[in-house]
Structure 1
Amino acid sequence: MTTRRYWGLLLLLVFAVSARAQLPLSKAGLEGSTQSPSLDALADHPQWRALLHYGRAKAGYERKSYVDDPAFFLSVNGRRDARAELQATVEQLQNQATLRCQFIARFRWLQQQGALDSELPAACDGYRQWRGTINAGAVALVFAASYLNSPSSMYGHTFLRVDPQGYRAESALLSYAVNYAAVVPDNDSSLLFAWRGMSGGYPGHFSLQPYVDKLQEYSRLENRDVWEYELNLNAAEIDRLMAHLWELQSINFDYYFMDENCSFRLLELLEVARPGLTLTAEFPVHAIPVDTVRAVREAGLVDEVVYRPSRQRELDALVAPLDAAQRQWVLTLAREPAQNLVPAFQRKSVDEQRTLLLGAYRLLRYQHNRQQRSPDVAGRSFALLRAINHLPPDAGQSATPVRPTEPDAGHATALAGLALGRFDERDYREVSLRLTYHDLLDPVAGYPRNASLNMLQATLRQVDGE
């Protein structure tokens, strides 16, 4: 071999080694590639930004995370620097098994992208037991209708329902509710509540509780209709969502009633579950629950909508066909269940008897649903149920409440208006803006009847001669 060929081969070998040194170390690739990206590419990836809660914006992403708790970050600059958080996460998860369990969604994703050794174990008995208890097989977005008696619920409330494998809609006993809410001290005054709620003065965090408890709270105690929007998340997406929920245990956010509220937080969870969603970008100023439900549906996430009427609607549907005399019987039986034994009542058909007894039972439960049941009320309820059970089970009319318009099918909550008119013999031009919510002149479909709630409304009028 000549000297020239020797040096040529040597240079070629050095170039090849140098070029390989510039490649990422892992063989696992991003989005199906055979090579993993650099830290810069991973730091800008939508899934990493979603895991850190760098919300979507019209021109990319927010400049900082919505998470206010330093315990959520492994870098001191993690809240404002996604790359610094990525580098700290890779370094610390590589060596600390406890952190791999604490941040299991991050760990799994970084392994998939090749930023962490694919052979690293993720032994996390606590997470495995937690997932086994929940046995998540499906997820629904739940909307509890507006409740004007509570300032924090005037616009409605959203949360997630996590169903076990083999869930059936007629049984919610094994489902869990994923709820995000503000932690409000009992002794806060109304004025202080409003101020702190608007200024982020309350911490907010996620909680998990039996779904039947939420149904008891909303449809029974507060007489609110409940709408269940069943989501078409697949198994991998549900797994990402649940892993990220595990990461958010005991993590606090600053709660803002108008924007960073229950509904906005759920949009962030869905962006983690299904990478590429841009739900949060649609709510840069305020997030009204019904608007976020509409955004989720427009994003193609909803398969079916299930309606659960409140106790009040069930009672109204039952007594609506009754005449005045029959309604009087309902009132009488609710006060004195033994009246079902008098001859005048016994002469009625079994169908009518069952309808009146059921109406009395539901009325009694409705009247006392927010109070601790006394022995007297419990005794009357039991007597009515016993009288109902003595009748044939197929007797009586089936009173199903009429399904109202779905909340997301109603009008948009924001309104801009332009008006021309004449007042006091002078012409005027008027521009108005209402950010929320509904007034008596709006179409009522999808909203509570005979209710009006307007906030952040302004009108500018120019009058000739002024």
Structure 2
Amino acid sequence: MQPTGQVRRWRWAVLIAWLAAPCAHAALQLELQPQGLSATQIVAAERTLQQVRTRLPSGWQARFQQLVLVRWSDTLPAHVHGRTRNGTITLQRALLDSVQEDQPLPRPPEAALIHELTHVLDRSPQGGWSRDPRLRDLAGWQRRPWKLGRTANAFSGRSPDDYERASPAEFLAVNAEHLLLDPDYACRRPAVAAWFADHLGPTAHAVDCDTRLPLMQAEEEAGAATLLELDPARVYGVDYLLAEGNDQLMSRWGHSMLRLVICAPGRPRGPACRMDLSHHRVLSYRAFVGDVQISSWRGLTGAYPSRLFVLPLNQVINEYTQLELRGLSSVPLAMDEQEIASLLERVAQVHWSYDGRYLFVSNNCAVETGKLLQEGVPRLASPGLNRITPRGLLTRLERLGVADASVLADRGQATRQGYYFASAEAHYQQLFDVARRQLPLGTADVGDWLRQPASQRARWVEQGDLRATAALLLLEQAALRREELRARDVLKRLLGDPDTGDAAARDTLRALLEDTGQLVSPAALVKGGGYGLPSAGERAMATEAAAQLSVQGAPAWKALQRQLKQRLPVRQQRELATIDSTLARLGARMRELAREDGVTAAAVR
């Protein structure tokens, strides 16, 4: 068959472009196999080959050592765009139908050829990149504890193509497509783009990315969240934050977290930033309970999602020291500015993409925190941080010279410098000692006092002086928080029981949990199919969606709490009501005693 005029023109154009290409491109040789193609399809196929030659960076092209044959066939399954066998690429012939003369080349045929060329290169003696441990870390095949291989890929959120999780080789090929065809790829997946640049050379794309990292942070008010745009340049350091254990099954080993020491706006990066506590944030892996049935067994079997929460430090301090009476140790980790930026970038990728399962034994807070540190700071990947207990992880970090636990040696100094946050139990005991020095309260232990029925504690309201009354007021506030925690557990069981008749409350709670799930897994807040870190437009969309959910959620949580109080057992309702009454009486007595003290002082003057 003699070539038509159109085919001859395209062949001359291809030849001229080939001769004009830099010598470094000469290693890549693509040869079209025209069998079965019409004249129009031959033109489209040659145009595709030439376009891809211009896409592939010279460093990539120089690695090809063998001629690559490219054929187009209609024998592939409809959903398969290409296959590579023994250095020969077969592409779906139907892809050529979308190529139109004098129109930009459509993405599918170009992407398919880039994808398969990446497989050719990866399978060659010069390749093997899909076996690189660092790529597998970045891609989401995470290391298991006890060096038992790697997990399945749970980075399913905001993926450009679910097929990338089929295998590391497919991840490499899929991401090569987007790296070469998407100008903003380096902004969406900066760590993977940097990996490609290190191993295969830089691409032609040069874009300015917003270095701030978007993190959906919880607010103090239940059901509220906002988007934090975190500038890594404001993060002075990262601490390993360890909550002490207690008697609860899921808490007896402690809890692993990371503390971001963020400088207040306008403050130069330095040690003084450690005192900007209101700006510090905590990264905490927790099992997100998206239903009303709370079950320890489900936590053991991986039925709950594992989510990376971003929380205000002050909220975490209050939660552990005031409510759960657990101390917090904050141990600095030795990281330079580049490592901190790398870790924060990984934090953002996990926050927007990770959908893991919480397992009390093998994928708990310590395991998740260790994986985050390994993947975010490459030098920590080789020795490994896979420990299954929070204290075990801290010990491993100390042995590697990463964690400096010497800051905790002097407990008083550690408390003053913000390295240790003591349980409020000792403070409560001091308050109780103040009160019992004046009043015969019947026990020397504050724990025994708080465990007494509220009606017994209420007998002492009118009997103390100003100092003793102030101490009893603070202790009664602590008693209220403890009783509210117990009430919350009771309500969980009531709502989890389908026979209690609280269907409306259950439906309300499920809806609120669904909204909260979007706030702690923010990919659901952005519509439109983007991938990786959200763009400026997607961040604005997430900010608006979070604001709407917060406006609705915060008052809805309060209303539900009021409604559920009516469903508590009578004894517990009476206990809460007595505490409320006692607090009101203690407050009134303090005001009365303060006025009397004021009158006495005036008379003395």
- Distance in 2 between residues matched to 1:118 and 1:382, nearest whole Å: 73
- Distance in 1 between residues matched to 2:234 and 2:592, nearest whole Å: 38
- Distance in 2 between residues matched to 1:377 and 1:153, nearest whole Å: 31
- Distance in 1 between residues matched to 2:142 and 2:460, nearest whole Å: 58
Q: Which amino acid is 1:153 matched to?
A: S
Say if 2:340 is the partner of 1:241: no
Which residue matches 1:31?
Answer: none
Match of 1:369, SS state, is: helix
Pick closer, same or farther for the CA change 1:272–1:93 going to 2, 3 Å: same
- Distance in 1 between residues matched to 2:369 and 2:335, nearest whole Å: 14
Q: Which amino acid is 1:52 matched to?
A: A
Pick closer, same or farther for the CA change 1:317–1:293 going to 2, 3 Å: farther
- Distance in 1 between residues matched to 2:177 and 2:230, nearest whole Å: 27
1:258 Cα deviation from its structure 2 partner: 0.5
Which residue matches 1:433?
Answer: none
Which residue matches 1:101?
Answer: 187
Equivalent of residue 204 in structure 1, options 292, 298, 306: 306
Pick closer, same or farther for the CA change 1:113–1:357 going to 2, 3 Å: farther
Which residue matches 1:423?
Answer: none
- Trace 1:14-93 onto structure 2 (pairs within 5 A): 21=27, 25-26=58-59, 40=127, 42-56=129-143, 62=149, 64-71=150-157, 74=160, 76=162, 78-79=164-165, 81-93=167-179
Match of 2:380, SS state, is: coil
- Larger CA Rg, structure 1 vs 2: 2
- Distance in 2 between residues matched to 1:236 and 1:275, nearest whole Å: 11
Say if 2:369 is the partner of 1:257: no
Say if 2:231 is the partner of 1:132: yes
Say if 2:388 is the partner of 1:287: yes
Give ranges in structure 1 of 5+ residues lacking alignment.
Answer: 1-16, 28-37, 342-352, 392-466
Equivalent of residue 156 in structure 1, options 254, 259, 262: 254
Match of 1:315, SS state, is: helix
Equivalent of residue 365 in structure 1, options 473, 477, 492: 477
Say if 2:379 is the partner of 1:302: no
Match of 1:159, SS state, is: strand
1:264 Cα deviation from its structure 2 partner: 0.9
Q: Which amino acid is 1:121 matched to?
A: V
1:288 Cα deviation from its structure 2 partner: 1.8
Q: Is the 8 A contact 1:201 1:254 kept in 2?
A: yes
Indicate the percent of aligned positions where both proteins have the same amino acid: 18
Pick closer, same or farther for the CA change 1:73–1:61 going to 2, 3 Å: farther
Match of 1:153, SS state, is: coil
Equivalent of residue 172 in structure 1, options 277, 289, 301: 277
Pick closer, same or farther for the CA change 1:123–1:386 going to 2, 3 Å: farther
Q: Is the 8 A contact 1:225 1:310 kept in 2?
A: yes
Equivalent of residue 274 in structure 1, options 373, 377, 385: 377
Give ranges in structure 2 of 5+ residues lacking alignment.
Answer: 1-22, 29-55, 61-120, 215-227, 264-269, 409-418, 450-455, 485-575, 598-605
* Bigger proportion of residues as helix: 2
**How many residues are treated as equivalent by the alignment?**
347
Q: Is the 8 A contact 1:105 1:247 kept in 2?
A: no
- Distance in 2 between residues matched to 1:76 and 1:133, nearest whole Å: 30
Pick closer, same or farther for the CA change 1:152–1:57 going to 2, 3 Å: closer
Greater RCO, CA 8 A, separation 6+: 2
Equivalent of residue 228 in structure 1, options 330, 335, 344: 330
* RMSD over aligned Cα atoms: 4.3
Q: Is the 8 A contact 2:237 2:333 kept in 1?
A: yes
Q: Is the 8 A contact 1:279 1:296 kept in 2?
A: no
Q: Which amino acid is 1:264 matched to?
A: V
Q: Is the 8 A contact 1:100 1:122 kept in 2?
A: no
Which residue matches 2:316?
Answer: 214
Equivalent of residue 145 in structure 1, options 231, 237, 244: 244
Equivalent of residue 287 in structure 2, options 168, 182, 189: 182
Structure-1-length-normalised TM-score: 0.61
Equivalent of residue 110 in structure 1, options 196, 207, 213: 196
**CA displacement, residues 210-247 of structure 1 (integer Å, 9 cap, x when unaligned):** 12111221111111111111212211111111111221
Structure-2-length-normalised TM-score: 0.48
With 38-47 and 270-279 compared, the bigger mean Cα shift is at 38-47
Q: Is the 8 A contact 2:300 2:360 kept in 1?
A: yes
- Distance in 1 between residues matched to 2:187 and 2:596, nearest whole Å: 57
Which residue matches 2:452?
Answer: none
Q: Is the 8 A contact 2:321 2:423 kept in 1?
A: yes
1:103 Cα deviation from its structure 2 partner: 2.1
- Distance in 1 between residues matched to 2:208 and 2:464, nearest whole Å: 65
Q: Is the 8 A contact 2:435 2:464 kept in 1?
A: no
